[in-house]
């Protein structure tokens, strides 16, 4: 049973990573940032924000860099969730550095981190809801949503993590394959940022520290994960979403 700390630590804020250059998505990103690329009738950023709202997230911090004015003009039209901006137009900070810069906006409670190019087709229970319900800040510094790489779209790598029966994660061994790939969504406790590097760095730095202390966990996504990182992956995702709508 989770402690009172776990109940009080339910995330209500998310950090949305939207500052990337979107180079692999060109030419669709020649005039707009990748989060504004349209999938199934709406920009990728709205797929993310709508899913967060449905899971009870009330506040979102969105970082911006490339073609920021286009994204800002779109976000100002939204009323839910409440949106704050972490401006990285002066320096692109990568995933970890971006979270550190936004720390004061994220508050003192655990928070979600959500890539802007990750979407999926749900099955029964919403996956972000499952992630939140599994979260336990007593045992975890971060909890990752993983996807079965063999049943995913837009990913052709060897996997990211091995997962124990208790949910504890370990890195894929060099030269090996694992069934699980990071699906672009996680929950983090603010303490994971303590002692973080300055400047630009990857979230992998913080995850490796959590692995070393046995405090990086993961659950497996129930549904079809789609990493929409290229025009080709976008087309395939459109087709799968249309098939799902007809089913």
Write out pLDDT tens, residues 170-207: 998 888 888 899 999 999 999 999 999 999 999 999 99
Supply φ then ψ for residue 213, to 5 degrees: -100, 10
Higher pLDDT among residues 45 and 7, named by residue: 45
Q: In the structure, what pLDDT confidence band is assigned to residue 154 with cuts at 50, 70 and 90?
A: confident
Tell me what the pLDDT averaged over the chain comes to.
92
Domain range 4-246, its CATH number among 3.40.190.10, 3.10.180.10, 3.90.226.10, 3.90.550.10: 3.90.550.10
Higher pLDDT among residues 130 and 124, named by residue: 130
Residue ranges per structural domain of the chain: 4-246
Q: What is the pTM of this model?
A: 0.93
pLDDT of residue 8: 53
Residue 83 buriedness (CB in 10 A; 0-12 / 13-18 / 19+): middle
Task: Identify how many contiguous H helices and E strands the chain contains and give both numbers.
Answer: 8, 14
Distance from C-alpha of 137 to C-alpha of 189, rounded to nearest angstrom: 7
**Nearest to 128, CA basis, from 41, 211, 222:** 222
Question: How are the residues of the chain apportioned to helix, strand and coil, as percentages rounded to the nearest 5?
Answer: 35, 25, 40
Higher pLDDT among residues 9 and 37, named by residue: 37
Which DSSP letter does residue 81 get? S
Q: Does the pLDDT value for residue 157 go beyond 90? A: no
Q: In the structure, what pLDDT confidence band is assigned to residue 229 with cuts at 50, 70 and 90?
A: confident
Give the 3-state secondary structure of residue 104: helix
């Amino acid at each position: 049973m989770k402690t009172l700390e776990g109940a009080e630590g339910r995330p209500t804020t998310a950090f949305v990573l939207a500052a990337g250059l979107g180079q692999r998505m060109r030419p669709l990103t020649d005039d707009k940032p990748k989060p504004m690329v349209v999938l199934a009738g709406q920009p990728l950023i709205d797929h993310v924000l709508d899913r967060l709202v449905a899971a009870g997230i009330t506040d979102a911090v969105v970082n911006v860099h490339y073609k920021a004015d286009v994204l800002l003009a779109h976000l100002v039209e939204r009323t839910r969730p409440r949106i704050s901006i972490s401006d990285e137009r002066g320096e692109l900070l990568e995933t970890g550095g971006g979270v550190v810069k936004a720390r004061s906006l994220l508050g003192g409670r655990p928070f979600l981190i959500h890539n802007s190019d990750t979407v999926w087709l749900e099955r029964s229970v919403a996956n972000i809801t499952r992630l939140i319900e599994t979260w336990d800040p007593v045992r975890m510094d971060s909890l990752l949503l993983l996807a079965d790489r063999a049943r995913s779209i837009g990913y052709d790598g060897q996997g990211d993590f091995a997962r124990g029966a208790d949910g504890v994660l370990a890195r894929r061994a060099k030269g090996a394959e694992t069934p699980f790939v990071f699906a672009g969504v996680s929950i983090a406790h603010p303490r994971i940022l303590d002692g973080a590097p300055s400047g630009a760095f990857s979230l992998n730095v913080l995850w490796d520290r959590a692995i070393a202390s046995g405090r990086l966990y993961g659950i497996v996504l129930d549904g079809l994960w789609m990493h929409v990182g290229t025009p080709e992956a976008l087309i395939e995702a459109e087709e799968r979403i249309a098939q799902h709508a007809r089913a």
